[in-house]
């Protein structure tokens, strides 16, 4: 079964007016329908610029971006934005309603969704992010993490084909992050959405089907989580980090503990220790 290309980037370069260097240099890759793609990289590596280009907030100076067969430009931007929902890093910059439910309804109203359906979708999305009991709360009374969950509800209410998480879980606590990622995963499966998560969080990246590593505006490497996290020290040099189980596998090996490989999951590492050393 061949995967359908939903988004194509071809030789995309972009430079901000105020900067001497290119924020993105000659970047090409495809995004496939229904996949979970993580884009990782240090601050300033071009990750967030990519997100802005994908959503048509900026346009590339060179190269082209195609979304669902449409070349992204000033004429097609409104149409492509219907396909792409974006959740930003800081929830304070994306709250528009005076109450939680108004905020989620805002995008739906803008898109002319009938009232009945609107109410249904607002309730559904808020329930999904576990904010249903806050319907009439004012945004300023919510904590950062709660606001972010409302922002995510606002996006999923619009049922986009692609959802871009631009560092959107970075202000959440571990449980909040887990809930949000689980929610996105569930919605992805139900609605066959494509997820692009732009993140420094390795535990978030490990969940992806595929990872792109950005460095200084260029696409540095592409691969499965398994492949990418074998890069180890190279990742640290890129300003990133190594997932804990890989780190521990490495130090254990240095201490003379035999392991068949470096593990990405804690469960697998524990199982390996058990198998090799106690079950003989």
| Site residues (vs another protein, CB under 8 A) | 18, 41-44, 89-90, 141, 143-146, 167, 170-176, 200, 202, 236, 239-241, 244-245, 247-248, 251-252, 254-257, 266-267, 269-271, 273-274, 277-278
Q: Mapping DSSP to helix (H, G, I), strand (E, B) and coil, where does residue 220 land?
A: strand
Comparison of 70 and 259: residue with beta carbon closer to another protein: 259
- 214, containing H or E segment: strand 210-215
Beta strands 24-32 and 5-14, pairing class = antiparallel
Comparison of 34 and 239: residue with beta carbon closer to another protein: 239
| Catalytic annotation present for 167 | yes
> Running DSSP on this structure, what letter comes out for residue 93?
G
Closest CA to 38 of 192, 170, 182, 223: 223
Q: What span, in angstroms and rounded, lies between the C-alpha atoms of 104 and 8?
A: 30
Q: Kindly state the smallest distance separating residue 167's Cβ from another protein, in Å.
A: 6
Q: What span, in angstroms and rounded, lies between the C-alpha atoms of 162 and 156?
A: 10
Q: Kindly state the smallest distance separating residue 244's Cβ from another protein, in Å.
A: 4
Q: What span, in angstroms and rounded, lies between the C-alpha atoms of 25 and 167?
A: 22
Comparison of 3 and 277: residue with beta carbon closer to another protein: 277
Closest CA to 269 of 248, 255, 251: 248
Comparison of 74 and 267: residue with beta carbon closer to another protein: 267
Q: Kindly state the smallest distance separating residue 214's Cβ from another protein, in Å.
A: 11
Comparison of 160 and 225: residue with beta carbon closer to another protein: 225
Q: Which residues are registered as beta bridge partners of 212?
A: 39, 222
Q: Which of 167, 179, 204, 272 is catalytic?
A: 167
Q: The tokens of 249 are what? A: 């596998």
Phi, psi angles (nearest 5°) of residue 30: -115, 150
Q: Kindly state the smallest distance separating residue 57's Cβ from another protein, in Å.
A: 17
Q: Kindly state the smallest distance separating residue 30's Cβ from another protein, in Å.
A: 25
Catalytic positions:
167
């Amino acid at each position: 079964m061949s995967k359908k290309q939903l988004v194509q980037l071809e030789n995309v370069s972009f430079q901000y007016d105020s900067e001497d260097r290119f924020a993105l240099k000659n970047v090409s890759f495809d995004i496939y329908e229904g996949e979970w793609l993580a884009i990782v990289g240090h601050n300033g590596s071009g990750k967030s610029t990519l997100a802005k280009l994908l959503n048509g907030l900026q346009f590339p100076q060179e190269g082209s971006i195609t979304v669902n067969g449409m070349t992204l430009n000033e004429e097609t931007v409104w149409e492509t934005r219907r396909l792409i929902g974006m959740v930003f890093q800081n929830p304070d910059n994306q709250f528009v309603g005076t109450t939680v439910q108004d905020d989620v309804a805002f995008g739906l109203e803008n898109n002319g969704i009938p009232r009945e359906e609107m109410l249904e979708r607002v309730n559904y999305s808020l329930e999904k992010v576990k904010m249903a009991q806050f319907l009439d709360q004012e945004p300023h009374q919510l904590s950062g993490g709660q606001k972010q969950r409302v922002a995510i509800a606002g996006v999923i209410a619009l049922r986009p084909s692609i959802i871009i998480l631009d560092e959107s879980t970075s202000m959440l606590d571990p449980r909040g992050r887990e809930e949000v990622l689980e929610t996105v995963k569930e919605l992805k499966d139900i609605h066959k959405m494509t997820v692009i998560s732009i993140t420094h969080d390795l535990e978030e990246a490990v969940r992806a089907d595929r990872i792109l590593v950005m460095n200084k505006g260029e696409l540095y490497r592409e691969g499965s989580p398994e492949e990418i996290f074998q890069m180890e020290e190279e990742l640290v040099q890129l300003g990133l980090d190594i997932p804990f189980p890989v780190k521990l596998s490495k130090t254990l090996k240095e201490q003379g503990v035999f392991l068949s490989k470096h593990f990405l999951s804690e469960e697998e590492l524990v199982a390996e220790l058990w198998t090799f050393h106690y079950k003989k």
